[in-house]
Every structure is written in structure tokens, then in C-alpha cells.
Amino acid sequence: MKYAFLIIFFIAFSCTAREEILPSPLFSIGHNIVPAKTFENDNYLYYSDGPGNHCTTLSPRLIYGFTDQFSVTFITPITHEKDEFVDDIELSNLTIQPEWAFIQKRTEKSVIQFTALASLQFRNGNSSELSSIPTSLVVGTTGVYSGHDWYIYYTYLVRIPSHNGSRRFGTNFFYEGGIGMLPFRTEDFYFAAVIEWNGVFIEKERVDEVRDPNTGSNTLVLGPVFDIGYKDVIFQIGFQYPVTQQLHGDQSKIDFIMGYGLSLVFHF
């Protein structure tokens, strides 16, 4: 179930700095660039289901654009995880995520953008308190092309966790992307249909330098996402299903993931 939570947690709204609304990933991190002096409130709900385990995550977040090329995202997810041994509701990883668009080109017909991001997390999901130092660091890059009819993006990230006593958590590598069409689009409205995929490779954990045989995995999920945007309001719904679940030892599989999103943009 741990890898399913990671897939769910590393989800961030993609909003390229826009003069007109653009489509966005639902199940991926990054792309959070908004215009200067703009606040964006995103509210996401994710649910994953598998044999004997269920996980629901409510992920509210706030994005502020300091410039047209630099934004910071604040994320405070709440997770409910339930299986035969656990039934817990808890505040998960409090996250601060700055992102910089080092390439951004806009024409009348398209937008091309590449960003670099760093994400600091201040809590392990199994901890009872917020940490005073980051419990993990995520670094990576994103890219997006949005034309009048097509939307294509990628995300590549590395999550470097801190140590927890004698336990050394494995590094995570995220590889994500999507491609879609915009059959209906005007200056104020769009409808997008996207195929989105999200993969994560997780190294095995070590306890006193001995590898834990019930850790480590390589998983890939894929599915459709539908976006409807009107002016500064965006609604999303999507589903993902496993393509591969290479799990070591005794780990729980998932059958599907679904997500919903509602985003509001405020200009100042």
C-alpha cells in the first residue's frame, strides 16, 4: 500500500502561467507556475482500492505566483488509510514546493514551458508529529506543450528521503507523462481528454544496512483524465489502472485509482 500512497501523494495541479486557461495533469507533480500576484486554490480528492486495503487522500493546496516564472505551492494533505491492521486518519506530508520556469515561450497558437522544482516535505506519513527539518527532498523537471488541439507533458522527479534511526528509506524515481486532445476550446472555455501515466521505482529500504525483503517496487498506472475549464474555474476527473506492479516480498497491490479536482484562480 505504501507505493500506492506515494503515487497518490505526488500529485500537483499543473497550471502554466496563462493569459488563457490551459489543461493540466491530475495525477502528477509540478507545472505549478501561475502569473505574478495570482493565488490559486486547488482541492483534490484521491481514492485507491486494492485487495483488503483502501486509501483516501484529501489534498488542498495554495499556489502563489511571485513572478510570471516563479511560484511556490503549499500542500497539506489528509489521508485515511484502511486495511485489516490499520484504520487511521492523519495529516500527511506538509509540503513546500518552489518551482521556476527556466524556459517559457508563448505564441498565439501554443505554449512551451520547462520548469525545475524542489519539494520539501516536513512529515513522514507514519509519524505522529510534524518534523522541524525536512523528512524528504524531491527535485526534478517538467515540460509541457499546449497547442490549440494538443496537450503533451512530462515529469521526471527523484525523492530523497531522510533516515529514521537505523532504517534507511529507499530513493524514489518518478516518471510521468500524458498526451491529450482539446476538441472544444475558446478563449474562456476548454474541454480536454488526456491519457495520463504515472510510474514510480522505489529502492529497497535498509535496516542496520540489511535490505528489507518486503520493500522496493516498480509500478506504472495509466488512465483517462477529463478537464473542463471556464475562465478561472477548472474541474477534473480521472481514473488510473495498473499496467505493471512489480512488488518485492509481501506488499499490497491496487486495483484502481480515481481522482477529482476543483481549482479556483484569484487575481490581485
The tens digit of pLDDT for each residue in 151-210 reads 999 999 999 887 766 777 888 999 999 999 988 888 788 899 999 999 999 988 888 778
Element (H, E) at 141: strand 136-147
Q: Give which of 250, 244, 165, 254 is closest to 213, Cα–Cα.
A: 250
Give the span between the Cα atoms of 249 and 61, in whole angstroms. 35
Q: How many CB atoms sit inside 10 A of residue 268's CB?
A: 8
Which domains occur in the chain, in start order?
A: 2-267 (2.40.160.40)
Which pLDDT score is estimated for 252?
81
Which pLDDT score is estimated for 218?
92
Give the span between the Cα atoms of 103 and 145, in whole angstroms. 12
pLDDT band at 4 (very low <50, low <70, confident <90, very high): very low
Taking only the tens place, the pLDDT of each residue in 64-98 is 999 999 999 999 889 888 877 777 888 877 899 99
Query: What is this structure's pTM?
Result: 0.82
